[in-house]
């Protein structure tokens, strides 16, 4: 599927994973499980999780950790497949 189509599909998705002060390591198992049963997962990075890092950097790092592909980041939200 083309990225454009994935982004369009992701637009109406609800956030199902929130990354907070515990960081991305605390959501790896949950995200991995959700990716097994869904095509797309929307992740929200709260201010406490971001610290000095940009959302793009955190999203790339998280995608790599769960062997997923980063579809897009918009604001403090990322979509993975």
Element (H or E) spanning 18, and its range? strand 15-19
Give the global pTM.
Answer: 0.92
% of residues, the chain, pLDDT over 70 = 98
Q: Decide if pLDDT at 15 tops 70.
A: yes
Structure confidence at residue 4 (pLDDT): 87
Q: Decide if pLDDT at 59 tops 80.
A: yes
Report, as an integer, the average pLDDT of 50-72: 95
Structure confidence at residue 7 (pLDDT): 87
Report, as an integer, the average pLDDT of 40-45: 97
Instruction: Using alpha carbons, list the distances in angstroms from residue 34 to 15, 30, 47, 64, 80.
Output: 12, 6, 23, 15, 10
Q: Decide if pLDDT at 1 tops 90.
A: no
């Amino acid at each position: 599927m083309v990225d454009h189509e994935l982004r369009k599909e992701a637009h109406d998705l609800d956030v199902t994973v929130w990354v907070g002060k515990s960081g991305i390591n605390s959501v790896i198992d949950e995200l991995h499980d959700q990716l097994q049963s869904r095509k797309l997962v929307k992740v929200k990075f709260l201010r406490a999780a971001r610290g000095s890092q940009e959302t793009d950097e955190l999203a790339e790092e998280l995608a790599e950790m769960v062997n997923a592909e980063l579809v897009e980041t918009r604001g403090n939200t990322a979509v993975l497949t």
